[in-house]
Structure 1
């Protein structure tokens, strides 16, 4: 994009024009993806991406990200943290998010105009966002369009160092409301479906326990007769969900859950197709934990399982 300077003449060699950062914030935890519109059939081109965006004052934007494509399968990966102290099970994440997996990078330019953010990535891809400042210490960007199919996205930014993270024991035990948009394979009908809705992570439930320094876990019975959760349970089986929230340090968190009726025999640990949700912590300028942005990449087989984007925050 060409930048012109009025009244002041030409810039001295080596001088860079300052660009206003979105909402005045340097780094954003971002979830973004392509989700088929509600009620339509996914095409196979859908994807989810979890990222950190870094906005430099000279107009350069950098992105470090993890990516999952709907038309490719991602076998689950076992992380180093376990639920020792609770049920002593291995914890899993979406393949590609485990420690040591490749972190991809993008670089480009950005401009801000009022509450609008425009990003032009090297290679030609573009994104449009709106910017909001809901309270001091944090800003929010919401995707309004892209040139490459992304149609849903949300990011939360602050000026806290990227090395700052909140330990699981220090996360406020409260309800974090949010939204999700998904593509999924309905095993009962054999059809691909899509949708959006509201949800949350409720750490205020008494069932949550601190298993160890790297894991929280809860077993929560489904008591709402209208709930559609755990429809895979057979009539008469107890409907309950086992949750794990784990960390290996840093802003990456690993969220996994499954219906306990799917456990085989007397086994306490589940190795089937659990819901795998890579997440990044949202932290404001003061270092306070505010929630997560994340994706779901529970599709070991291409175009099966679930691929989604979500965010759960108290902002």
Structure 2
């Protein structure tokens, strides 16, 4: 009887040793996507190029946090095209340049609600699968373009999101780069948008390449919280500022502002739309909330962002974009 009990105990002990996870207080670590804990992410639903948007499209700007126990959480800002978001005035101004107020999409200003989701994730090879607690699922492909930063690109979801890009590192989320310290270079990128064509009254969609060019000499440091530039459009084939009348100068006024942290406020408009002698525009400027992309070394690499220029439901533009040197 003693021998039988001893044999049984040795089998049980061997099973516990092999399983490991059965011991109290232990858990198997899950591989983080690209080996990175936090990602700055832009994600949304954009109608396919050439098709008519439904009016139910959306964009979301978020930070994803992946923990070693297989859980994931995100803090995010959300804009639905079926709802209007009046512009919000932020604290920084362009004092030192043209002394104007600067705006962002309603819901991104300081004090606005930051929503949260939690869920679980798995990584299989270069595939990342996320299952949120509200039933939403996302699938991403993971790449490691260089040491210190990884990229996730959306391949599908079960709730309409069809465009997404995120950049991850292991730097603390509290680390941000001041505007004056951002390298003054060109940050290329891509965008996907849904828009209302005021000339035809139709909803349209599309994708394209673009960028933020801080190397232009027109960019000035207005103050510690704002950079600004007025850039004339010299390309006769450019589709920018087509609202300008014949003979009017076609130029774009840009603002890039910060209140500290990774949140940046990007705004621009065509200067021909200014009224009278005013240098400050109060019309429908392009409002682009953005989050800084920072690598493991704390180096600034660009932005992920959205456009939420729809003060009235299903009008203006709603889009996702990313501008980085990665």
Q: Structure 2 length normalisation: TM-score?
A: 0.94
What's 1:184 paired with?
A: 195
Corresponding residue of 1:210: 221
* Local SS of the residue matching 1:261: helix
Q: CA deviation at 1:13?
A: 2.7
C-alpha RMSD of the superposition: 1.1
Q: Note the 1:162-173 alignment, pairs <5 A.
A: 162-173=173-184
- In the alignment, the residues of structure 2 paired with residue 75 and residue 163 of structure 1 have an alpha-carbon distance, to the nearest angstrom, of 29
Q: Which residue of structure 2 aligns with residue 150 of structure 1? A: 161
Which structure 1 residue ranges, 4+ long, deviate > 4 Å from structure 2?
Answer: none
Inter-CA distance 6–147: structure 2 relative to 1 (3 Å threshold): farther
From 290, 293, 302, the equivalent of 1:291 is: 302
Q: Equivalent residue for 1:85? A: 96
| Cα distance, 1:7 vs structure 2 | 8.8
Matches within 5 A, 1:120-139: 120-139=131-150
- SS of aligned partner of 1:220: strand
Which residue of 60, 69, 72 maps to 2:80?
Answer: 69
CA distance in 2, matches of 1:13, 1:7: 12
Q: 1:14 offset after TM fit, Å?
A: 3.2
- 1:250 matched residue in structure 2: 261
| In structure 1, C-alpha distance between the alignment counterparts of 2:74 and 2:281, rounded to whole Å | 35
- Pairing 1:199–2:224 present: no
User: Residues 54-74 of structure 1: CA distance to partner in whole angstroms, max 9, x if unpaired?
Assistant: 000000000000000000000
* 2-structure distance, mates of 1:259, 1:173: 23
Is residue 16–residue 22 contact of structure 2 (8 Å, CA) maintained in 1? no
Alpha-carbon distance in structure 1 between the residues aligned to 2:257 and 2:44 = 24
- Is residue 259 from structure 1 mapped to residue 270 from structure 2 by the alignment? yes
Within the candidate set 240, 245, 252, 1:241 is matched to 252
| 1:127-180 deviations in Å (ceiling 9; x for gaps) | 000000000000000000001000000000000000000000000000000000
Q: How many angstroms does 1:8 deviate by?
A: 1.9
Rounded to whole Å, the distance in 2 between the matches of 1:167 and 1:173 is 12
More helix by share: 2
Question: Take 1:239 and 1:65, find their aligned partners in 2: how far apart are those partners?
Answer: 36
- 2:128 corresponds to which residue? 117
Within the candidate set 268, 277, 298, 2:279 is matched to: 268
Q: Distance in 2 between matches of 1:241 and 1:258?
A: 6
SS of corresponding position for 2:272: helix
In structure 2, the residue matched to 1:225 is 236
Per-residue CA distance 1:97-151 (angstroms, 9 max, x = gap): 0000000000000000110000000021100000000000000000000010000
Could you tell me which runs of 5 or more consecutive residues in structure 1 were left unpaired when the two chains were aligned. Answer: none
The Cα offsets for residues 249-272 of structure 1, whole Å up to 9 and x where unpaired, read as 000000000000000000010000
**Residue aligning to 1:104:** 115
Cα distance in 2 for partners of 1:134, 1:72 equals 37
Shift of 1:45: 1.2
Aligned pair count? 311
Matched, 1:58 2:75: no
Q: 1:6 and 1:271, CA in 2 relative to 1: closer, same or farther beyond 3 A?
A: farther
Unpaired stretches in structure 2, ≥5 consecutive residues: 1-14
The secondary structure found in structure 2 opposite 1:8 is helix
Q: Which protein shows a greater Rg?
A: 2
Take 2:46 and 2:38, find their aligned partners in 1: how far apart are those partners?
25
> What's the CA shift for 1:6?
11
